[in-house]
Amino acid sequence: MPIGICKLCLSDKELLKSHMMPAGLYGHRNREFEVFTLSARVRTKKQMKQVLLCRECEERFSENGESHVLGLIGSKRKQFSLNERMRLGFARDSDSFSKRFFAPDFGIDVDKFSYFAISVVWRAAVIQWLMEDGTYTQKVSLGDFQEDMRRYLIGETTLPSDMAVIVIVCSDATSRQGFTYPTGFVEANCINFRFLARGIVFRLLIGYGMTGFLKQAACTSTIKPIWYGNCESRTREMFRNLIV
Ligand SMILES: [Zn+2]
């Protein structure tokens, strides 16, 4: 195993090959899957991973977010049980696009959901990843926020007040079929990142100027909302935007 500086704890240690998108999202190991890179649509069995973290930090990611989120996604199961339960569930209220539910009603730990979303965006920012078509992911610049994220992920701070994670469970079958790498854009005076993970859309907002409305929509707000809606057109748009 190579020795080097772990990007998260900054210690000199044996390093493992880490995934940007967790292995559990890829489905069956020996089956080909479709990946949308920046330039192509690729069918492959290869999972995107690079030397990045020590074993302790890999375990930290798993315990603090990934295993809980992946358990609820259950990407190897045909049935998306979270979707089924929300479809029949009692919404607290709704807007024109989606219904709002109380996350703990569905066994969702909002702290783990937001930790997971931030860990994926941080992984996308900390190195450029070699994608399945031989090109690299786009450089993600987070400025000082990158170090704030690292300190939060290592457990030195609580969730920074200028970060919020909005979670939408998708009712449509298309969004369940795959995942996307985080893409960044500017909206509502914030840096936004969005990615799809087999039926769940995660949106991370970062910025000092975040409105109260957006903060209330985040899963970590006091009302712990989780949104449910048909994301098919947004998912298709995400896929289209990835192909230049
Ligand atoms: Zn480490």
User: 1-50: per-residue pLDDT in tens?
Assistant: 899 999 999 999 999 999 999 988 887 767 777 766 656 677 777 788 99
Residue 3 Cα, ligand 1 centroid: separation in angstroms? Answer: 11
Give the predicted TM-score (pTM) of the model.
0.93
pLDDT band at 95 (very low <50, low <70, confident <90, very high): confident
Residue 52 Cα, ligand 1 centroid: separation in angstroms? Answer: 9
Residue 124 Cα, ligand 1 centroid: separation in angstroms? Answer: 17
- State both tokens at 217: 């929509």
From CA 94, how far away is CA 183, in angstroms rounded?
Answer: 26
- State both tokens at 175: 């969004």
Rounded to the nearest 10 degrees, the angle between the axes of helix 110-126 and helix 145-154 is 130
From CA 134, how far away is CA 9, in angstroms rounded?
Answer: 29
Exposure of 149 in the CB half-sphere (CA atoms within 13 A): 28
From CA 40, how far away is CA 38, in angstroms rounded?
Answer: 6
Residue 153 Cα, ligand 1 centroid: separation in angstroms? Answer: 11
What are the residue ranges of helices labelled H in the chain? 55-61, 67-73, 81-88, 110-126, 145-154, 212-217, 232-242
